[in-house]
């Protein structure tokens, strides 16, 4: 048989265990909310990973543009200093020819439409 003192200690132990369980559950809920927020929020882990991927793409694009710019710088230098390149561009784009050269222009005839047979 339990004495009154033992009964109060047993009740206290039950309350303590119940309080501990409540605290563990509350802590678990808070932890789950924090983890969910960390992963799915506007500035969460998923957004961070997408931003990193986007940054890598932009870095690649920058490298490609730097290569293109280097090629354009070479072309600018050639256009400023190389008479052969200047002549080549003048012939291609402007149709310039030298004295005494003959120019042959090939003109394609438009395709002839074949009339369809009436049924």
Output the 3-class SS for 36-55. Answer: HHHHHCCCCHHHHHHHHHHH
Whether pTM exceeds 0.85: no
13 domain residue, yes or no: yes
Helix axes 45-81, 4-40, angle to 10 degrees: 20
Count of domains observed in the chain: 2
How far is Cα 91 from Cα 34, in angstroms, rounded to an integer?
69
66 domain residue, yes or no: yes
Give the domain range for residue 11: 1-40
111 domain residue, yes or no: no
How far is Cα 80 from Cα 74, in angstroms, rounded to an integer?
10
Which are the contacts of 96, defined by CB distance < 8 A and separation ≥ 6? Answer: 87, 90
In this predicted structure, what is the pLDDT of residue 107?
86
pLDDT at 118 over 80: no
pLDDT at 117 over 80: no
70 domain residue, yes or no: yes
Q: How does pLDDT run across 14-63, given as a tens digit for each residue?
A: 899 999 999 999 999 999 998 888 888 888 888 889 999 999 999 999 99
Same domain? 36 vs 51: no
4 domain residue, yes or no: yes
Same domain? 91 vs 51: yes
Same domain? 67 vs 90: yes
Which are the contacts of 46, defined by CB distance < 8 A and separation ≥ 6? Answer: 39, 40
Same domain? 13 vs 30: yes
118 domain residue, yes or no: no
53 domain residue, yes or no: yes
In this predicted structure, what is the pLDDT of residue 54?
96
Same domain? 36 vs 55: no
Q: How does pLDDT run across 49-98, given as a tens digit for each residue?
A: 999 999 999 999 999 999 999 999 999 999 999 999 988 888 888 888 88
In this predicted structure, what is the pLDDT of residue 29?
93
């Amino acid at each position: 048989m339990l004495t009154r003192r033992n009964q109060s200690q047993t009740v206290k132990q039950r309350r303590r265990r119940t309080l501990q369980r409540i605290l563990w559950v509350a802590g678990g809920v808070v932890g789950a909310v924090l983890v969910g927020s960390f992963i799915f929020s506007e500035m969460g882990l998923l957004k961070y990973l997408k931003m990193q991927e986007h940054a890598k793409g932009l870095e690649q694009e920058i490298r490609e543009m730097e290569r293109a710019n280097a090629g354009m710088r070479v072309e600018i230098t050639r256009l400023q200093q190389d008479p052969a390149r200047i002549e080549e561009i003048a012939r291609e784009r402007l149709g310039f020819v030298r004295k005494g050269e003959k120019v042959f222009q090939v003109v394609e005839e438009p395709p002839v439409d074949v009339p369809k047979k009436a049924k």
